[in-house]
Amino acid sequence: MRVGYVRVSTAEQNPARQVELMKSLGVEKVFLDKISGKNTDRPQFNEMLSFLREGDTLYVESFSRLSRSTRDLLGTVSVLSGRGVQLVSDKEKVDTNTPQGRFMLTVFAALSELERENILERQREGIEIAKAEGKYKGRKPIAVTDRFLGAARSWQEGSLPLKDAIEQSGLSESTFFRKCKQQGIRRVGV
């Protein structure tokens, strides 16, 4: 069976170009993720791996759609070859059924990982420059609201269970406790 995997990094990006490519390649089933390729913790990616069977061929637009990490990409290829699944990348014109294809896969995976690391480095550099210029202040602190104070004080007095106090405060558990500590609110006798 011809199976396709399509991935874009964010929900805002449009996968139409990759979907059209899958149609032109005669792909019968497509799995689509809208999530970063920095690791393999992707719902449709994992479903696709479970779906593939011996004799299937997996088509991707490029290896970067499968992974941005050399280790993850090579691990995925290992899983696929162990199951007897062929991998074809349209952009790189690589077919893992050949020794040359497996070699080129290793080279392209390393380049893809390098590209991702360069993007992250440029992002860090940009943030440092913005901080130095006073343009980047980081995330704004969460304000202490009357809603939080009411819920925290009710919890402190013992009239409201912790779970309900956290829910009523509208904060996450860790933020609730951090704000309680900052305000000197703690449950007496606990």
CB 48 within 8 A of CB 65: no
Spell out the alpha helix ranges (H) of 62-98. 63-66, 70-82
Cβ 35 vs Cβ 6: under 8 Å: no
Q: How far apart are CA 170 and CA 181, in angstroms?
A: 17
**Structure-derived torsion over alpha carbons of residues 115, 15, 58, 37, reported in degrees to the nearest 10:** 40
Of 9, 36, 62, 154, the catalytic one is 9
89 is catalytic: no
Q: What angle do CA 13, 16, 21 make, to 5 degrees?
A: 130
Q: Which two tokens stand for residue 2?
A: 């011809």
Active site residues: 9
